[in-house]
Structure 1
Amino acid sequence: MSDGTMRTGGVDLAAENKGTALAVIEWTPDRARLEQLSLDVDDAEITEVAAGVARLGIDCAFGWPDEFVGFVTAHADLAQPQTPDGGMAWRRTLAYRETDRQVRERSGRWPLSVSTDRIGLTAMRCAGLLGRLAGSGLVVDRSGRDGAVVEVYPGATLRVWKWEMRGYRSDPEVRRSLVQRMRREAPWFELGARAELMVESTDAFDAVVAALAARAAATGRYDPPPAEHQERAEREGWIILPSCPLGELLHWPSTESPAGATRTAR
């Protein structure tokens, strides 16, 4: 790892294999190469790749808000008095995790709510996937401080990089312009023919960004959960946002060893 060689992976997770994309980037001291980019990926392939990378970034919520879990548990107990509705501000505590609030502060946008929005089914698949990864012998730390996987959010990653990405999820030409910008800011990143798949498929594009965010996590260039939120992040999950621009991801930070890189690079 100290020689700058590693592999990172990224997953744009969907509720089913259709719509799920997987990217793997190989990093060496002087270049990075998009080694793999696949669509319609199943959990078995994700688990296999996770065993061979320094970090795997997964674009999906790793858990639900503590308050939401407590509310549903209490509501299911018919012997107990029902929880009164505390108004919209109270309902928002059920809708958003602590990491969602932190992401809004950095990126200016709320992530989708895992408890009230359409990503719930995907989060259920993700919970099963995390269990499968743990069952395979990998360390799963939902806070992202340690282990094989980190929660990532490609849209917020692009926003903290200050990229103009309005419409990128629906317009291939916007994605083409982002791929071109990626090549300008990171001329050392070899996309090869797979770049066209990033233009054709939003899922493929997001998987690559997820793998780039995983590189930031593996080299310690992200803001970990504050100490007061660490235990909550271990339950709810914590979105990793790079603390450096894309162009700086190739080289190791100036500190001795990356804070987040605890596994042997392959």
Structure 2
Amino acid sequence: MTVFIAGVDLASQTAQTGLAVVSAGDSTLRVETLDVGADDSAIIEAIRQSVKTGVDVPLGWPDRFVDLVSAHHAGGPQQCADWRTEAVLRMTDRVLKEDFGLRPLSVSTDRIAYPALRWSGIEAQLKLLGIDTARDGSGRICEVYPAGFLFQHGLKHRGYKGAAGAQVREEILRSLRLVMSDEHADLCVADDNALDAVLAALSAHTVLTGKAYGPPEEHRQTALREGWIWMPRTDN
């Protein structure tokens, strides 16, 4: 049985948004479609047609950040002594830092907030369509981290972005167990947004097949609000 898995490298602007659809069947992963320049409707349609979609964007904000801003907005007292951690980093960001030594961008303080705001609008549209968008990754959507996928597979997870990273992207492609056309491969080498979309789909495949680390039970409720980055397992 062949299933379809989507990967989204979400940017604030359509022009920089990568979208990949990968088929999985008979132990083969194949890139079926790949595009840079995906608008919201294209993303939503890909999600509708896929059993799982990996999205490279924070799905939520830190609980303490939300509390702090809400209290400030209401003019009430705000107390967050350790704001550099609790209000800046989500629980999943802290776990990635502690367990893997990785430092994803802060959705509270960095420019990644712009695509996160875009995602909040897409999430709302998906909910209207009855699609399970649980931020802990238990539904049709899972939050993924392309650099984390590369890290877990022993590939270069830094220095592969931009024009200067084209050769590194070519090396990464040669290491992936994946079937794709020359056209799609060329696009991945030319544009890191395309490669990240493919990596997002591959990450979603690890989630679908039970080969990824999700939120531990003690953080499940937090993950439902803040989102959770799923990391590929290396012990199977």
Shift of 1:84: 4.9
Q: Which residue of 2 aligns with 1:58?
A: 55
SS in 1 for 2:189: helix
Q: Which residue of 2 aligns with 1:191?
A: 180
TM-score normalized by structure 2?
A: 0.94
Shift of 1:226: 1.2
TM-score normalized by structure 1?
A: 0.84
CA–CA distance in structure 1, aligned partners of residues 127 and 23 of structure 2? 24
Q: Which has the higher helix share?
A: 2
CA contact 1:103–1:156 (8 Å) conserved in 2 = no
Q: Pairwise mapping of residues 57-206 of structure 1 onto structure 2 (< 5 A)?
A: 57-78=54-75, 80=76, 82-84=77-79, 86=81, 89-145=82-138, 147-170=139-162, 171-182=165-176, 186=177, 189-193=178-182, 194-206=184-196
SS in 1 for 2:85: helix
Bigger Cα Rg: 1
Instruction: Give CA-to-partner distance per residue, 1:182-241, whole Å, 9 cap, x none.
Output: 2xxx2xx21112111000000000000000001011111112211111111000000111
2:217 is equivalent to residue 220 of structure 1: no
CA–CA distance in structure 1, aligned partners of residues 151 and 170 of structure 2? 17
CA–CA distance in structure 1, aligned partners of residues 171 and 204 of structure 2? 23
Structure 1: runs of 5+ lacking an equivalent: 249-266
CA–CA distance in structure 1, aligned partners of residues 80 and 131 of structure 2? 41
Shift of 1:85: 6.1
Q: Pairwise mapping of residues 219-238 of structure 1 onto structure 2 (< 5 A)?
A: 219-238=209-228
**1:29 corresponds to which of 21, 26, 30:** 26
CA contact 2:147–2:158 (8 Å) conserved in 1 = no
CA contact 2:214–2:231 (8 Å) conserved in 1 = no
**Given residue 54 of structure 1, which amino acid in structure 2 is its aligned partner?**
V
Shift of 1:125: 0.3
CA–CA distance in structure 1, aligned partners of residues 91 and 58 of structure 2? 12
Q: CA RMSD in A?
A: 1.5
Shift of 1:244: 3.7
**1:38 corresponds to which of 31, 35, 38:** 35
CA–CA distance in structure 1, aligned partners of residues 80 and 234 of structure 2? 42
